[in-house]
Structure 1
């Protein structure tokens, strides 16, 4: 799958809408508070990929992220509904709304915990998803950034 994502927040999000139902009533920019974003990432409820700049990103699902990406991150994320949304973070659940396919792409997957690997090369974002037999616990001390080593 390949899609183009346009973000005005320099961030792409990958998540199962079911895992952020508790955020639907929050402000639309709840995730812009670093501790709130980090909490959801560390709980495996969402993967926010900070890209370093706004713009248009060609996003491709791959079996393996290319080794020539400057930074490759690995994040555990859970899926309880059988679908992941991949899109600009400004469309994450909040303010009483949830994203539709107008604002990103939905992919069908098996329910479970996934190891998501992501890498950035110029304006190309590569994402791989592999189901794993682990708990969806991450231990990041800071936001997940793809634009710095």
Structure 2
């Protein structure tokens, strides 16, 4: 699978997640993830990959499902419980009685993926982001000590 999408963000964030993995957050504050500790908990549990971008604006995502993990400086493991992964702006993260599965998407996109654990590797070039998604064995456990930013590359 390869796909290219564009999305706009007013929170300067890229979010990748399975909506089912964050369904427990639907009744939290709409911006629960703006608390670095709350965000880091979900990232380390493999429920979310949230990347701080350089600025608000329009970004192009080139998404490629690969057979073997591509080493990169910005990489995280995520879980896919429902068979769908969301790629798009942080504004679409479940919270405040809102979730991508509760209404049609206006930004970002849901893609079908087999249930499992994935290594997500990112490469940045200005407003273009290459995303490599590779199925891996084991649990989606990360050990980040701080939030993820595109400038980490």
Q: Same fold (TM over 0.5)?
A: yes
Per-residue CA deviation, residues 8-60 of structure 1 (Å, 9 max, x unaligned), is: 11101000010001100001100000000110000000110111211110111
Q: Equivalences for 1:1-149 in 2 at 5 Å?
A: 1-62=3-64, 72-99=73-100, 100-149=104-153
CA contact (8 A) 2:74 2:152 kept: no
Cα distance in 2 for residues equivalent to 1:113 and 1:145? 22
Which TM-score applies when normalising by structure 1? Answer: 0.91
Cα distance in 2 for residues equivalent to 1:56 and 1:66? 25
Per-residue CA deviation, residues 86-134 of structure 1 (Å, 9 max, x unaligned), is: 1110111010011243221010000000000012111101111100002
Which TM-score applies when normalising by structure 2? Answer: 0.89
How far apart are 1:66 and its partner, in Å? 9.3
CA contact (8 A) 2:77 2:118 kept: yes
C-alpha RMSD of matched pairs (Å): 1.8
SS at match of 2:123: strand
Equivalent residues, number:
146
SS at match of 2:21: helix
Structure 1 window deviating more from structure 2 (56-65 vs 31-40): it is 56-65
SS at match of 2:150: coil
Q: Which runs of 5+ in 2 are unaligned?
A: none
Q: Which portions of structure 1, spanning 4 or more consecutive aligned residues, are displaced by more than 3 angstroms?
A: 63-67
